[in-house]
Each structure stands twice: as structure tokens, then as C-alpha cells.
Amino acid sequence: MNRAFLAPGLVLVLVAIGGRYTLDRAGLLDLAWVDLRVIGLVIALVLLAVEVGRRPRELGGRPEGWLVAALLFFLFQIASALWAPPAARTGPQTLDLVLLGVLLLVAYVYTLGDPDTVILFTFKLFFVAAIVYALAAIFVSGPGEQGRYSAFGGGPNVFARVEVLGVISAVALFMVTGRKSPLLVIPLFLLATVLSGSRGTLVAGGVVGFAALLKLRRRLSAGAVAAAVTVAVAAVGVIGALAPPEFTDLFQERFVEQTVQEQYLSGRTDIWMAALRMFADHPIGGSGLDGFYGLIGVNQAVEYPHNYLLAVAAEGGLAGLGLLTASILLWTRIVRGGGARPQLTGLAVAAAVFVALSSLFSGDYYDSRLAWIFAAMAAAAALVKVPATPKELVVAR
């Protein structure tokens, strides 16, 4: 098996992290119509074609029903624009879903060529990106109007996801390479995550971390537990020592006063109940693409339901939920147990599940893109056979 050409992976990660980046965000107002996602994906497709052309031909099929179901799900969402309310923003939403489908396909096809190289390279890129984002947020962008930190014009919730993915990437680099140096950067990632004020991201990260500990509890030695405790204590100490003055105020206001004392959830419960009522009103095919905004959000200044599943239920009904559920169940059958690469598959699954859980608290359809990308990588890692070593080939002969 040829080692993967890394250029498609670099472009893929840049497009995925960049989000909806149009040139007006760079100050070029006359070129606001230029969507860099489209340009980036065209480049990625060209590079991927070069990469696929380098691969040897493979015989035999793979169980890719999950991928078919996912693409049918996206197509159904696009088709639901036919019965969406007049105020729905079906054009931009359709573009988002088309690009989401292309990202999924590119990630899957690219990873099939060499899962070991591609997934490790992806974690390296996210590790570096998390460092850059954290430093930019703390030393360049600073706190926003609400006192929450983010970087490069993106929202605090997306920024927090990049930082937690940095934590997962640091753990992945340690597990795969054995190097401990990536773990030393975890305190920076945790500090940046808390400064983002994203409570849903912290909950999602905590759930994935706890699940990982439960799964690995029988393999953890006393030394590993002691090292983990040491890193945790050091992280708290470094955060306390290096955190800016705004850290204490943000932590006190957002996490202690609003969340614990006032039980304030940024109006999420009202938004979620509205989405549930919409599902009850349109149970079969939903209200149509961007129907939540077209019927409710346009009058209440709410962009979307801030919950991926509730958005699908409200706008896609049982049909949309059925296709999404089919894709998830078929994917779970593939990645369960890890397949040919238990370690890499598990790490990619952890990243995908983290972003998916985060999507239950904030974000729209396109904001789930990292969950779909890591899910594709996990499936490819589980399905592609590990190439035989020269010694094994001699024995086989």
C-alpha cells in the first residue's frame, strides 16, 4: 500500500475548521460572494483524484450502507426545501448540505488509501490548530461582548470544539507515538475551552472522557493513573497561574451563577420545546429545510434549534430521523470493536462522538461537519485491512 499523499488531508482540515469563510470576513467587502469552502473543496477533489490514481486497484466490496444512508439523508434534507415555508433560507442551507456531503465523501475515500497515515496526520493538524486558536484567542482576539473567547471571527462554541479536539489529538499522539510532550499542552487547551464559556462543549468532552476511562479501566496501570492525576493537577495549577484576570469573572458568572445558581441555559429549553411542537405539527416529512427559522426563528431572532436531532425532527420529521438513525446504526456495526485498527478507530470514534454530543447543545447542520468527517475516518480505519509485513508474506508463500 502506498503512503497517502498528505496534501488532500491538509486542505480537508483547513476547509473543515474554517467554516463558512467568505472574503468579507477578511475585509474584502466587494468579494463577499466568494465562498472559500467551495474553492477549498474543488482543490481537495483535484488532489484526491491524484491520490486515488496512485493507489493499486482493490478487489471486493465493503459494507458501506452507512454511507449510502447518510447521503440519502442529506438528499432528503435538500429535497425537503420543496415544502419549506416561504421565509426559509433554502439556498444557503442547500449549499451547506451539498458541501457537507462532499466533505464526508472526501474524508472517507481519502482515508481508505492509508488509514494509519491519514488519521495520525489529521490529529497532528488538529493539535497544531488547537494551539494556534488558543493563542490567537487569548493574545489577539480577547474576550467578546459577553466576555467569551474565540478566534479568527468564529463563534465561541466552534472554538471550544477545536480546543477539545486538541485534547483528544494530544492523547492520540501520545497513544500512537508514545511521546509525552503533546500531553504538556493540554492545560492550554482546557484553559481556552473554559474561556470560551461553552458549557455544552465541556459537558460533551466530559462524557467522552469518562466513557474512555471506563473502557480503558482494565488496561490502566497504577503508573498510568498516577500520570493522569499528575497531569490533571498540573493542568489546574497552570490554568490558575497563567489564566488572565477575566478568567475568574467568566467562570464565576457563566458556570457558577448562571448555570448552578440561576439554572440559566441561554433560552435553550424554550427553543427546544418550540422544535418539539413543530415536530408534533409535521410528524412525517417535517416542516421542510430551514423550516424552524421560516416559521419561528424569523419572528424571534433565533437562527436554528441549537440541537441537531431536534432540528432534524422539526424539519425532516420521521423520514429524516429514520434515514439518520439507519446511517448511525450501520456505522456503529462497522466501528464496534475497532475492526482492523482498534486504537485508531477508537480515537476517531471518540472525536466523532464528542462533536455529535456538542451538536445537541449548539450549532446547525453544517456545524456537525467534524462529526461526519471523523465518523468517515473511523469507518475507513475499521474496514481497511492491515497490510501484511514482508515476514508474513514469506510465511504465506
* Listed range (18-32, 305-319, 363-377) with the worst mean pLDDT: 18-32
CA 34 to chain centre: 24
Handedness of CA 202, 214, 373, 327 (dihedral sign): negative
Q: Is the pLDDT confidence value at 263 over 50?
A: no
Q: Which residues contact 196 (CB under 8 A, 6 or more apart)?
A: 137, 148, 149, 150, 156, 157, 159, 160, 163
167 confidence band (pLDDT: 50, 70, 90): very high
Q: Is residue 17 a contact partner of residue 129, using CB atoms and an 8 Å limit?
A: yes
pTM for the predicted model, two decimal places: 0.88
Share of the chain above pLDDT 70, in %: 79
Higher per-residue pLDDT: 210 or 328: 328
Residue 143 β-bridge partners: 149
pLDDT in tens, 345-379: 999 999 999 999 999 988 899 999 999 999 999 99
Q: How far is it between the farthest Cα atoms of the chain?
A: 72
pLDDT in tens, 189-227: 988 998 888 888 989 999 998 888 887 766 655 665 666
pLDDT value for 264: 46
CA 132, CA 169: separation in Å to the nearest integer? 14
Note every long-range contact of 23-32, with CB atoms under 8 Å and residues 24 or more positions apart, other chains counting: 25/153
pLDDT value for 386: 73
The predicted model gives 281-294 an average pLDDT of: 95
The predicted model gives 313-333 an average pLDDT of: 97
Q: Is the pLDDT confidence value at 74 over 70?
A: yes
CA 358 to chain centre: 8
Cell digits of residue 212: 474512555
Residue with cell 497563567: 242
* Listed range (12-26, 28-42, 112-126, 242-256) with the worst mean pLDDT: 242-256
268 confidence band (pLDDT: 50, 70, 90): confident
